Each structure stands twice: as structure tokens, then as C-alpha cells.
Amino acid sequence: MNRDQLFAWLQYPLPHHLISRLAGHLADCPTPWLKNAMITQFIKTFDVDMNDAVHKTPDDYRTFNEFFTRPLVEGARPVGAGVVSPADGLLSQCGAIEDGHLIQAKGHTYSVRSLLGGNKNEAAAYQDGQFATIYLSPRDYHRVHMPVSGRLVSTRYVPGRIFSVNQATAREVPGLFARNERLVCHFETEFGPMAVVLIGAMIVAGIETVWSGQVTPGAKTPQDCRFDQEITLETGEELGRFKLGSSVVMCLPEGVRFHPDVDSGDTVRMGQSLATVDPA
């Protein structure tokens, strides 16, 4: 058993949700000496670049979570053309959806249908489409933005485990992203449907969206919400945020083409142009 296998195996018996709730309480603690110590140590341990942050020092944040979801100064992330990266992070996988399946890691695939929560009609829209998975490491900026302008149609909260989503776990836990708790956000764009999936993970203290705030876990079955009011977000506009790190999976329809110089393993920044869309 190698190191990655051991790390993944040790996660199976852990009380994932209890650990994450405890982490959430700690991250929301406003006690100045404690939150300052946590922020200072975190910046040092993960070499966090604070140059682009609006607020530069631990004293500027009321809690660790405020630091973790820190805003950036205006213009820090220019928004490119076409389909852009929704977040800072590692483009762990990207490419064509083949036979209804996405690549998780070498030797591992999972289905669009399972990722989206089981609806075959929704999954069919991406049968010949493209996908991208972006892993947000602890040192990254943790707000998620729109890859392209679109109207929010519906969301689906899908309960599940909350394994770590780092590269070691992705290589060793089958169906990881379709296994973890997640929020599936369905949009209608000028080139067709788009799904942006916010993946929960070990010690992630919460997922928030700009339209409904904190996503409250605990349901035993998928929970759907449709939106009758007009909620339209422009390319680069904030969609949501993670309280501690995780991953975002984008599902895009046929007609999207990744740039030739964009490939799995690239480090990307929010707003960076990743793909173009074929004219209708």
C-alpha cells in the first residue's frame, strides 16, 4: 500500500460531517487571539499570497472564515473572453465527456448523471460536451465566479460523504466527485445549458451561494429548488464561495472547445480564458 492509498483508506471510517461541523465552529470563532493565531499560522504554512487581498492582516478579519473567503482588490482577476475559469486553482482534469463519463484521475471515470444527482435528461444535455475540474488548494482564493453569463434555472443539493478532494484522494477513491456532498447549479446560457457543481470536502465548513446564502446540509435525499424569479449572472460575477477548500466541476454542452494551450495539470486563475464556443 502506497502513501496515497493509505491516506484515502484512512478517510473511510472517519465521521466526515462531524469533523467538518467542528471545523466550522472553530473557523467562525471571533476570539481575537485565537483567530489571529490561526490565520497567521495558515498564511505561513500554505504560503498564502495576501498581495491581492483587500485586507492584508489577521486583525482585519473578524473570523478565520472571513479571512478564508477574503475578497480581492478590484482588477486583481481580469476576465477574459469565452468560457473562463470560475476559480483559482489546479485544472486537475478537462476535456471531452465521452460516453457520458468524465475523467476523475488516471484510471478513474464517473458519469455525468451520477454527478448531477441522477437525472438522465439533464445529463443527456452534456453527452457530447466538455468538462473541467478545478481543485482549490488551501492557499487559493476561494470565491467561485461565473464561467460565462447565464440565467440560474435550478439547483440540486445532493447529500453524500465528504472525502478530501486533493489529488491523492482523487487517484484512489472511485467516483469521488459523484460520491461527495455537492450543490449542482444549472444555468441557461447563450450557447446552451451549463452545470457548475460545487463539491463538498473534508473540513469544508460550508458552501454559500450569492442567491440563497449558506447551503444547509443534512437532507437524506437530493433536494431540488427551481427559480421563477430572474437570477442572471454575468461572466466573472461571483456565484458562491467555499468555507475551506474544495473543487468545482463545470459541465458544458457540445460546441465548447478548450484552447490548445489549456491542459490538465495547469494552474489557472479566476477569469482566465479556457475555451471558446463554436458559433451556432
* Catalytic residue positions, numbered: 88, 145, 246
Beta bridge partners of residue 91, listed in sequence order: 134, 266
DSSP-assigned letter for residue 98: B
The one-letter amino acid code at 224 reads D
CA-based diameter of the chain, in Å?
A: 57
Q: Quick check: 39 and 64 in contact, CB under 8 A?
A: yes
Q: In what order do the strands lie in the sheet with 213-214?
A: 143-145, 238-243, 206-209, 213-214
Q: What are phi and psi of 53, to 5 degrees?
A: -75, 145
Four-residue CA torsion sign, 74, 80, 82, 88: negative
DSSP-assigned letter for residue 264: T
Q: Quick check: 183 and 207 in contact, CB under 8 A?
A: yes
Q: What are phi and psi of 27, to 5 degrees?
A: -70, -20
